[in-house]
Amino acid sequence: MNTKKISIKSCVTEAVDVTDPTILNIMPTLMRWGVRADQKIGSYSNYITKIGILTVSNCKADIPCDAVLIKHILLGDYGCDCDLFNSNNLLVNTDEFDISQGDLVYTHAYYWSDLYGVCISDIPWSIEGDCIKLDTNYDGTDITVQYLAYETDDEGYPVVNESHRDAIKYYIMTQLDEREEWALKRKGQLNNAFFSSAERIIRKYKKAVRYARAQDGEPSETQKWEIAELINNPLTGYGNYMLENLRG
């Protein structure tokens, strides 16, 4: 879906404006809650694709700090060309040491997809904490990694889909309510009015998450045309009718 992007800072500010503006002094915590809320929505359309070159040390390579999902890995430094990880390059041949595709020669290519749960690899790897862990010793070797990451604004804050605004705002408010609950509990001031208000915020948060996921799943105009083209069948005429509806 093609959607407007906004800085996550605006979601944090909005949550603070309706609660307590003085808590802006815990901005790092608020931002961490905001990112956590966005990731709970789980939209891959929210990220941009990046390529990075990492160096293996002690059988591990540090994951880039802005990465949210590691998609593909190649052994070696092959630069950051956007077409490096096309499907023709992601081949594995366990009988040959070198894999040649055009002008590129790979000494082992391996692929992992969290989206499809598929692993095709002669050199197994896994995520361990903040590192990519290789099961074979390639210390000192560079690896080329394609990953999904947040786009950032001019201040370095993550950029998210605008449809996530309310879900992020209400999630931050639920976390603030949790802090307030413990404070009131220590003072012996918990009451039903507080719990009733907290429950309303939770319901609003859940509704906002459902809305955000629905918006992310809505096909773009281009995707609608592609669907219509697939359905279009000159023998039935149904596709022509659908195309006319889309044009209107």
Tell me which residue of 15, 19, 43 sits closest to 205, measured CA to CA: 15
> 95-121: buried (b, 16+ CB within 10 Å) or exposed (e) per residue?
eeeebeeeeeebebbbbbeeeeeeeeb
pLDDT at 101: 39
Percent residues over pLDDT 90 in the chain: 24
pLDDT at 201: 94
Report the length, in residues, of the chain: 248
Instruction: Provide the pLDDT confidence category of residue 205 given band limits of 50, 70 and 90.
Output: very high
Which DSSP helix (H) or strand (E) runs through 77? none
Q: Considering Cα of 17, then 22, then 24, then 30, what sign does the dihedral take?
A: negative
Cα Dmax for the chain: 75
What tens digit of pLDDT does each residue of 120-165 get?
444 667 888 888 888 778 899 888 888 888 888 898 889 999 999 9
**pTM for the complete prediction?**
0.65
d(CA 91, CA 146): 15
Angle at 134 between CA 133 and CA 137, to 5 degrees: 130
Name the DSSP class of 21. G
pLDDT at 206: 95
Helix (H, G, I), strand (E, B) or coil at 120: strand
What tens digit of pLDDT does each residue of 156-197 get?
889 999 999 999 999 999 999 988 888 888 888 888 888 898
Q: How far is CA 79 from CA 75, 99, 104, 106, 142, in A?
A: 12, 17, 11, 13, 11
Instruction: Provide the pLDDT confidence category of residue 47 given band limits of 50, 70 and 90.
Output: confident
pLDDT at 188: 85
| Residue 234 identity (one-letter amino acid) | P
Q: Tokens 């879900």 belong to which residue? A: 167
